[in-house]
Amino acid sequence: MIALLLLAFAPHFRIVTFGDSLTAPRNGVVTYTDVLAEELPRRGIPVDIWNAGVGGNTSTQARARFDHDVLQRRPDLVIIQLGTNDSAIDVWKKPPAAAPRVSIFHYRDNLLYFIRTLREHHAKVILITPNRLAWTPKLRELYGKPPYHPGDPDGFNLLLDAYSDMMRGIAARERVPLIDAAAAMPTSLLLDGMHPNSEGHRLVANLLLNTIPSLLKP
């Protein structure tokens, strides 16, 4: 009873999960945001948590809504997972694109903007690398052209791996906690070659649950 009373009067931490379709709500899937909302209070960390993932977003598109979707919520912690759409080369277009949607240098600048702006607002940050991708018949039909390698099981990760490496370097230099979903997520946990199923989200949530308590101390 005393523990419950203490929890009831403990400060509620404000968390925003900020990203693309790897973060956004998905019909039939329990996302890592959902898991955190349930598990953190059980661990004595009361939270108000918002899922600010938007499918299809690049880091540049996310930056355009950053003030409204993140800063205006006055977060204590923001969890950022972006990069899949930035790195995509839309070879399916007519004429086909020849470069990523967002260059790796603009991607770097956007991540640094998020981190440094959040620090100015006294918010903590966790970065999550985008999980790696796996070929499916549909993805081969769309993206199975150079510079991608449809005959190579890893051929759809050609550019994505470089963007994940950029995020890893930023996390190290800026001393920001990193959840390396690219390294941890097996492709067997993907619904469609791109998006994690509930078990994949649980994997990411468990890694976050190992990190968040040290950042948010009631």
Residue boundaries of the structural domains of the chain: 14-215
Give pLDDT, residue 12: 85
The Cα 189–Cα 186 span in angstroms is 6
Q: Does domain 14-215 have CATH number 3.40.50.1110?
A: yes
pTM of the model: 0.93
User: What Å distances lie between residue 29 and 130, 165, 174, 190, 201, CA to CA?
Assistant: 17, 28, 32, 11, 8
104: left (phi over 0), alpha (psi -120 to 50) or beta: alpha
More confident residue, 139 or 6: 139
Q: Which helix (H) or strand (E) holds 2?
A: helix 2-9
Q: What is the mean pLDDT of residues 161-188?
A: 98
Encoded tokens for 86 = 């930035």
From the list 80, 72, 84, the residue with the least C-alpha distance to 125 is 80
Give pLDDT, residue 10: 59
Helical ranges in 10-152 per DSSP H: 32-42, 59-64, 66-69, 84-87, 104-120, 137-143
Give pLDDT, residue 86: 98
Per-residue b or e along 73-101, where b marks 16 or more CB atoms closer than 10 Å to that residue's CB: bebbbbbbbbbbbbbbbebeeeeeeeebb
Give pLDDT, residue 9: 52
Give pLDDT, residue 88: 98
More confident residue, 6 or 187: 187
